[in-house]
Amino acid sequence: GENVEQHPSTLSVQEGDSAVIKCTYSDSASNYFPWYKQELGKRPQLIIDIRSNVGEKKDQRIAVTLNKTAKHFSLHITETQPEDSAVYFCAAYNFNKFYFGSGTKLNVKP
């Protein structure tokens, strides 16, 4: 089955700085890669996603890049704000299943 690894497990940045979270996957059949933000005790919320036929996607301060050859994808958050503080999960999708990374706790210091 698919194995998704996510780094770092914790990330602390100053407000206004950029944050980058990286994930790798093992199964080349994975073709959809969503990123979720989860606040404490709440449901994961989709913040951005990318499909395997696209190399990069951007939505305001958030961007995702995908390198299919290397089997890794990254989340980039620019101009971070305190409300960006949360746990972020990457996931890979194939054969009707989602496989999640271990999560990154992002702390944005004001």
Q: Which residues bind another protein (CB under 8 A)?
A: 32, 34, 41-46, 49, 89, 93, 96-103
Q: Pairing between strand 72-77 and 19-24?
A: antiparallel
Residue pointed to by tokens 């409300």: 83
List beta partners, residue 35: 48, 90
Q: First and final CA of the chain: distance in angstroms? A: 41
The nearest distance, CB 79 to another protein, in angstroms, is 27
The residue (of 37 and 108) whose beta carbon lies closer to another protein is: 37
The residue (of 52 and 78) whose beta carbon lies closer to another protein is: 52
The residue (of 7 and 97) whose beta carbon lies closer to another protein is: 97
The nearest distance, CB 32 to another protein, in angstroms, is 4
The nearest distance, CB 25 to another protein, in angstroms, is 14
* Cβ partners under 8 Å of residue 36, min gap 6: 44, 45, 46, 47, 88, 89, 90, 91
